[in-house]
Amino acid sequence: MSVLDNIDDLDKDLVERYELIQERVACITEETTVSEVYRDFFTTTAKYLMFANSILDLVIDEEYTSKSLDELKAINDRNFCEIREGAYETSYTNPEYATSKCGNVYGKYLCELLTKLRTTFGYALQGRIEELVVMEELFVEIYNIFESEELSEEAIKDVVYWFESDYQDLFFDYQIRAIVDDSMDFYKKIVLNSDLEDLRYLYWYGLNVTENEIKIAKFLNSRSDKEIQDMADTCTEGFVRGFELGRKDLSKKNTVNIYYAIGFERVVRAVIDNLDKLGLKAIIRQSGVTTTDANKQYQFDHKFDQGLYLDKGLIDRKLTVAKVSFEKYKDMAAKLAGPIAIETFGEKPFTPVAKESTIKLSEKQQKLQASYQNSWVQLYHEYIKGDETSFTIIAYPIPEIGENFEDIFADTIKINTLDQELYGRIQTEIINALDKAEYVEVKGKGNNKTNIKVMMQSLNNPEKETLFENCLADVNIPVGEVFTSPRLTGTEGVLNVSEVYLNDLKYVDLTIEFKDGKITEYTCKNFEKEEDNKRFIKENLLYNHETLPIGEFAIGTNTTAYVIGKKYDIVYKLPILIVEKMGPHFAVGDTCYSFEEESKTYNPDGKEIVAKDNECSLLRDTDMEKAYFGCHTDITIPYEELLDISAYTKDGEKITIIEDGRFVLPGTEALNEAFEG
């Protein structure tokens, strides 16, 4: 398989630049012109870049994919070895090690530089020569500063800053085109053209390959055609149902993004075939293909590397380039139907280590980053409109989950294919009760300190309207929740969870306080220092906003998923996609209907869902910065930590939905059968 078709600018000037930079990088491995303090960094980094160049040579000569399994594994290990646990402790990609060897100031810049340069392996595999060249030119430019008598933090920062600014056109344009252009098919060719029994293909992505990827590929290869087709049908049928329930016109669309984890290619191939029959082309985005992290601490350590150079000018530059690129590909963007995502779960929960040496955003930069994220989401929805698109997300376990992997996989399929009609009827009973409420109270039991009052929106016509969406297995698989956008004013109290896994990070004893629906205080017990706990939550849950509103209140009804999680002791390894169906949950950030508030949405019983706004999103016509936040994170209280969920009407009537972790509302008793079993 050749990637020559992916090389857009194979002209004489680019080839000459590549040959020159190759030679210069090779020379650096032998030179002694920089201070001995920094010499090892530049020598080892130059050798890494020579390794990336050797991969590009193999690709251009069409020799890479003919390598043996052992050879490909050796190449993969060479690329990822220094960031894997153990070796990471003495790697220049580790900020603690880099600063100990090269000093607090220059060590941070060199650590960030090497992390950036590690992308060259992927560029080489995809034949993206220009990106490879500009990265190596950056390395040489930084090296030249360390060679000279003009070495200073200001000189290094200036080079890095203008690199980030000048090459936004190259990198951002590619990123946006990859979202909407089905001709960007490097990964798609791997899925469709590979012999999936020959596991060498796993190494063609250029991503970290572990026993997870190898075992899941072998496992899925052992499944029958019918089992694979059933998994694919669950995805595509849910995707189509999302358009039908949202009364959106799928016939206007011609492309679908597919996200998946390496090893699931057999299922993805069947999904692509299903989409073809619907007249839809698959787009597999580079950022949409995932694998087991080589080291989650590495990812955590480099989350805010941009703090070295981020300012308003760079934010404005990024948004300008993004706008130009979206405008360039607007016709393609208008045809995108949305994503189908096949997620995985089962990795060991990760609790990060807080390091003094990591780069942190200043208060000003935090506000800039939060503003940028918000503006980016708004720009995305300007060209890929939420009221014209839909999505489907489903999740499966990976072998790392434990020795019961195959049983857990089978039970996950069971969870993903529960009787929608039964759940639809039961959830209608819950919705009918909640629609009578002025407010709902949720209380924890035992050590759980949850005690929160959630105000409901007004309902004018209960015969034709409802406040809650009856969520079945369409966009969010599996089945099992009812949710609404609560009124913020008057919503107050404490939300507490003993352990929760959010966005790949584990939180211990997470506690959040709300006033008028917005976060006022927060803490957890991940770290010894309270300042580290608060910073951890602000950076990773609040996304550097000073506060966030409650965008969603929901009650999960999938007791089967909960019992299966307890059966295998994997509750805290389950993804939020499943966990949110296993008890009441609150989402902080935007509502579930952001950017599509005006489109009409209906439950299966024909009632229109009218609670789609809150006091923040209503500001979208006057102040977009205050209307949206660019994030939405679900936090679930498990049934076992739950004392009571009760609705209170304006007349003072109390209607209890759940008591002591069990459903007690008449018509919901069938949900308790899973507990009894």
Mean pLDDT, the chain, integer:
94
> Is-contact 423 372, C-beta < 8 A?
no
Give dist(CA 600, CA 18) in Å, integer: 54
What count of Cα atoms within 13 Å lies in the side-chain half-sphere of residue 193?
A: 11
Span 396-408, average pLDDT: 95
pLDDT given at position 247? 87
Three-state DSSP class for residue 572: helix
Give dist(CA 392, CA 280) in Å, integer: 15
* % of residues, the chain, pLDDT over 90: 87
Q: Would the pLDDT of 503 be above 90?
A: no
**435-472 pLDDT tens trace:** 999 999 999 999 999 999 999 999 989 999 999 999 98
pLDDT given at position 457? 95
pLDDT given at position 285? 87
> Would strands 487-502 and 281-290 be described as parallel, antiparallel, or unpaired?
unpaired
pLDDT given at position 499? 87
pLDDT given at position 599? 85
DSSP state of 618: G
> Would strands 505-515 and 451-455 be described as parallel, antiparallel, or unpaired?
unpaired
Q: Would the pLDDT of 224 be above 80?
A: yes
Q: Would the pLDDT of 2 be above 50?
A: no
**585-605 pLDDT tens trace:** 999 999 999 988 888 889 989
> Is-contact 113 95, C-beta < 8 A?
no
Q: How far is CA 384 from CA 176, 325, 362, 388, 619, in A?
A: 11, 13, 32, 8, 21
**29-69 pLDDT tens trace:** 999 999 999 999 999 999 999 999 999 999 999 999 999 99
Give dist(CA 634, CA 49) in Å, integer: 41
Three-state DSSP class for residue 551: strand
Structure tokens at 410: 């089978």
Closest by Cα among 414, 614, 583 to 500: 583
Span 348-352, average pLDDT: 85
Which DSSP string do the residues of 367-427 spell out, in sequence order? Answer: HHHHHHHHHHHHHHHHHS-GGG---EEEEEE-GGG-TTHHHHHHHHHHHHT--HHHHHHHH
* % of residues, the chain, pLDDT over 70: 98
> Is-contact 83 93, C-beta < 8 A?
yes
pLDDT given at position 548? 97
Q: Would the pLDDT of 1 be above 50?
A: no
Given strand 439-444, what is the order of strands in its sheet?
Answer: 518-523, 505-515, 487-502, 451-455, 439-444, 642-648, 654-659, 662-663
> pTM score > 0.85 for this model?
yes
Give dist(CA 514, CA 549) in Å, integer: 8
